[in-house]
Structure 1
Amino acid sequence: MDQPTSLFNPAQHTLHLVVGSSGGIGAALTQQLSALGHTLITTSRRGSDADLQLDFEDDASVAAFGPALASRLDGAALRSVFICSGLLHAIGVRPERRIEALKADAYTRVMRVNALGPLCLMGQLKALLARDGPSQVSAVSARVGSIADNRLGGWYSYRCAKAALNMGFKTLAVELQRTHPACALTLFHPGTTDTALSAPFQRGVAPHKLFSTARAADQFVEVVRRRETEPGLQFLAWDGQPVAW
């Protein structure tokens, strides 16, 4: 079987799965890949604005996703996955400035969407992921999930969730070394991006450090593209620089 020379060469007809395609970065990424001529399968919580429905807060939705995607693939191997879903705030969910603000229900929601959901999803996708050549799995993480870089404190739920995502991907990378040795895994820190997720927290961000979703999507693709032939896991920022674990 011919192997793709590049996952990002439209002539190779690589299918890209974009999880969370209705969010800020996910929507921009979907638009960019589509404009470049790539074939996509997209997901959203509602499903009405994407190809498939996937809700990380619904166990049944996650469990049903693998068979639904397999049906869409129709025997083809999955080679490219972008996980763009995330939760920072919602009704009853706010980043905690102090430990007294930590609430179990909110913490659980943030953990499910940012860490547990993506990892359970990978449990569904592993059997569909290509073994005969290059593949890539990437997820939007955040510098606030870095244990070494935490000097400001606060944001307990979100920090813990992104740190858990990072550790989960670190463990997944060890497993995939044995089963999918050509798979490149990337945790991507996009910087502060002008999305609904960051909107309430942009006041102190300098204009040149607030990125558009289009720029973030472009950087996401570029970071992943640069290392698509480098198996294993890296935690990288928007400029391609490593982020401390």
Structure 2
Amino acid sequence: MSESNALVIGASQGIGLGFVQHLLQRPHIQTIYATYRSQDSAVGLLTLAAQYPERVSCIAVDITQETQIADCCNQIQSEGVLLYWVINCVGILHEGDLQPEKGLRQLNAEQLTRYFQVNSIGAALWAKHLLPLLKHDHPSIFATISAKIGSIGDNHLGGWYGYRASKAALNMLMRTTSIEYRRRSPQTIVVTLHPGTTDTKLSKPFQRNVPPEKLFSVDRTVTQLLTVLDGLGKEDSGQFFSWDGSLLPW
């Protein structure tokens, strides 16, 4: 395979950092651009970049700020680089006072807005600004980490209103993106991915009821998701895949 370049969005820790580590093992991937929100939470990523200065390029981006997304894409474009892999790993389930709601009485507009800003809107803005970098004659992938809990058809338990709704919105935004990309960037495959429950900071408070065999290490999750991505064809664009390659209901 000829040399290619990748962008991992939200690479400071967890699954995002795992993708950077795995993509470094693929010699044909020349440069890996990796975004992070703050230096304090990106120590592992910045250390990795220092070890591989010729291959890992770190860029600070807050996914809730469109100007920063645009600046990142413009920086990559100014280097004359085309992207073949884009993997968006940004997501929020809890932070500070923001916690998954158990019932309607816990809903408030500010927290719902935060869920949508991070989990839904940011991915669509990336799709908007990434188009020139993905629009070329070679096959490319734009994958976003979603969650099975965002499936409306699979919702039998209720609760977690903001997280569920923001992931459902993410799925719709990416499905719609895939239709436009089919016209404007026909070589690009756009998918959303359910990684399974992974042993990360995001899932830590909720792991108590997860059977050990269903709690994946970051390494296992990334390995499984890369297998899915490696097997994609153009006909798969616009789909929602689980970690084992099966299609999930919307």
**TM-score, normalising length: structure 2:** 0.89
Once residues 4 and 235 of structure 2 are traced to their aligned partners in structure 1, the CA distance between those partners, rounded to angstroms, is 18
1:23 touches 1:84 (CA, 8 Å); kept in 2?
Answer: no
Q: 1:240 aligns with which of 223, 241, 245?
A: 245
Q: Unpaired segments of 5 or more residues in structure 2?
A: 47-56
- Cα distance, 1:108 vs structure 2: 1.0
- Cα distance, 1:231 vs structure 2: 5.4
1:79 touches 1:130 (CA, 8 Å); kept in 2?
Answer: no
Partner in structure 2 of residue 164 of structure 1? 169
Corresponding position: 1:114 with 2:129: no
Partner in structure 2 of residue 15 of structure 1? 5
**TM-score, normalising length: structure 1:** 0.90
Residue identity over aligned pairs, in percent, reads 38
Corresponding position: 1:60 with 2:67: yes
SS state at 2:186 partner: coil
Once residues 234 and 111 of structure 2 are traced to their aligned partners in structure 1, the CA distance between those partners, rounded to angstroms, is 39
The one-letter amino acid of 1:95's match is P
2:135 touches 2:184 (CA, 8 Å); kept in 1?
Answer: no
Once residues 244 and 236 of structure 2 are traced to their aligned partners in structure 1, the CA distance between those partners, rounded to angstroms, is 20
The one-letter amino acid of 2:24's match is S
SS state at 1:159 partner: helix
Q: 2:94 aligns with which of 85, 89, 94?
A: 89
Q: Unpaired segments of 5 or more residues in structure 1?
A: 1-10
1:17 touches 1:42 (CA, 8 Å); kept in 2?
Answer: yes
- Cα distance, 1:69 vs structure 2: 2.1
Deviates more, 1:205-214 or 1:178-187: 178-187
Once residues 130 and 59 of structure 1 are traced to their aligned partners in structure 2, the CA distance between those partners, rounded to angstroms, is 20
User: 1:1-245, aligned counterparts within 5 Å?
Assistant: 11-37=1-27, 38-39=29-30, 40-46=32-38, 49=46, 51-71=58-78, 74-230=79-235, 232-245=237-250
Once residues 17 and 216 of structure 2 are traced to their aligned partners in structure 1, the CA distance between those partners, rounded to angstroms, is 15
Query: CA-atom RMSD, angstroms?
Result: 1.5
1:18 touches 1:41 (CA, 8 Å); kept in 2?
Answer: yes
* Bigger relative contact order, structure 1 or 2 (CA pairs below 8 A, ≥6 apart): 1
SS state at 1:125 partner: helix
The one-letter amino acid of 1:234's match is Q
Once residues 231 and 154 of structure 1 are traced to their aligned partners in structure 2, the CA distance between those partners, rounded to angstroms, is 31
1:57 touches 1:109 (CA, 8 Å); kept in 2?
Answer: no
How many equivalent residue pairs? 233
Once residues 75 and 30 of structure 1 are traced to their aligned partners in structure 2, the CA distance between those partners, rounded to angstroms, is 21
2:5 touches 2:81 (CA, 8 Å); kept in 1?
Answer: no
Once residues 234 and 151 of structure 2 are traced to their aligned partners in structure 1, the CA distance between those partners, rounded to angstroms, is 25
Once residues 113 and 66 of structure 2 are traced to their aligned partners in structure 1, the CA distance between those partners, rounded to angstroms, is 14
